[in-house]
Amino acid sequence: MASTQGYVGFGSFFVERSVEDMVSDDTYEPPPPQIQPEDDPLAAADTELGVVCRQLFLIDFENWTFINHGAFGGVCRPAYAEAAAWREHCERQPLLFLDRQLFPQMVRVMREIASFMHARPQDLVFLPNATTGLNVAIQSAQLQPGDALYMLNIGYGSVKKMAAAASSQAEVVYGDVSFPISGPDEIVRLVERTMPSNTKMAVFDAVTSNTALVLPIQQLVQLCKSRGILVLVDAAHALGQLEVNLGSLDADFYVTNCHKWLAGPRGSAVFWAHPRVQHTVRPLVVSHGSGHGFTSDFIWDGCRDYAPYLGVSAALRMWQQLGPERCRTYMHNLVCQAANLLASAWRTTTLAPLHMCASMALVELPFKQAAAGAELQDPGEPANSTNAKHVQEVLHQNFRIECPVKCIQGCLYVRISACIYNTLHDYEKLMEAIFKIGGRAS
């Protein structure tokens, strides 16, 4: 790195040590934050989970029944306030903050998130969203003609487009998961059977978005490593919903959002790369940080708003104070209780066994199509995405219930989410609304 007036950095930065040195040196102590974070007194181990926790979020619970945390999450008040404070601090003296204060504070938060994910801070970087990290990882594979990129058909839709765009003349192969499904071993056997020998990279979801399944990532990673295949884990829904231990996973790439289940500020995600593959990784945007190391490549790719990353610190404190395992247990137990309630009332079933779910689950609706006037088609015909969108829109417009509706194999399902602010009463409202949409009394 170039040296300027006794300082090291790139561009116009004036920091006493390079960011690569700071993040990898366990003895380095970042300076205290220039703002004084204010923790919410409700974020404590003795806080009752459920309705009380609604005060920790900005969501308008008075006017909406919100059982769709899995879509875009919902920032917690402490993280929102801390990000706003950092944003204001920056604008009071932008040169002081961006040139001299930013990098040490980024190192501090990188260490905090690394500890939460059981990883080394020098192996992860913050990015605006999981989509950016997924693009970086897929492009790093440098797929060539004759290579295959493998993924399951239940993977996230945009990742399928990334694979098609990055693969050039390489082949994209899908393992077809069909329902009903008995358990995670069925997924492993499917991958063993359908992943071709020329696979260079495999992409697996930690938690599938459309079908809400927790995939057996540890077994899938081990299978791929035994065949010499790169593994990218799309963990957009994992952080906050699952315990994440990157130290024992042995994947090559792991990408997760902070704005979903972690309830961090929007515009914050983590991209992790195993040391054995970091030399293959290049940022999508090349700027002053490029060429100075993995952290530098991504930490300065042009001027942007760093407040969301710094605000993640407050979200982490909130979960640590509430008790991460306690919260995950509450959310899982609630989603199971809610799914059983709905399936029993509607005389339907869940898409998959609830032991394959964490804080989201799919429950089949008691009708195949949108039962509303002209929208109702021949009952013998399978449902489609138009029907699903119609039911979701009716829930939104007529009942002020925010809950996605999915069409899976010609049947309609609601995908319910359970966060620490939800209670069983939220799903009872959904149950009654679906009865009304279907023209039936409960």
3-state SS class at 269 = strand
Over residues 301-324, mean pLDDT? 95
Does position 11 have pLDDT exceeding 60, yes or no?
no
CA angle, 73 as apex, 71 and 75 as ends, to 5°?
160
Which of 4-13, 76-85, 149-158 ranks highest by mean pLDDT?
76-85
Closest CA to 433 of 128, 63, 65: 65
3-state SS class at 150 = strand
Does position 394 have pLDDT exceeding 90, yes or no?
yes
Distance CA 164, CA 149 (A): 9
Q: Which helix (H) or strand (E) holds 152?
A: strand 148-152
Over residues 212-216, mean pLDDT? 98
> 435: buried, middle or exposed (CB in 10 Å: 19+, 13-18, 0-12)?
middle
The pLDDT tens digits for 136-193 are 999 999 998 899 999 999 998 888 788 777 766 789 999 999 999 999 999 999 999 9
3-state SS class at 352 = coil
Does position 14 have pLDDT exceeding 80, yes or no?
no
**Percent of the chain's residues with pLDDT above 90:** 80
Question: What DSSP designation does 119 have?
Answer: S
Does position 204 have pLDDT exceeding 60, yes or no?
yes
Between 157 and 113, where is the model more confident? 113
The pLDDT tens digits for 396-417 are 999 999 999 999 999 999 999 9
pLDDT value of residue 38: 78
Over residues 309-323, mean pLDDT? 97
Distance CA 389, CA 123 (A): 40
Does position 426 have pLDDT exceeding 70, yes or no?
yes
State the chain's mean pLDDT as an integer.
91
Measured N-to-C along each axis, helices 324-346 and 424-437 cross at an angle, to the nearest 10 degrees, of 30
pLDDT interval class at 295 (50, 70, 90): very high
Does position 6 have pLDDT exceeding 60, yes or no?
no
pLDDT value of residue 373: 36
Q: Which domains does the chain have, with CATH numbers?
A: 111-319 (3.40.640.10), 324-434 (3.90.1150.10)
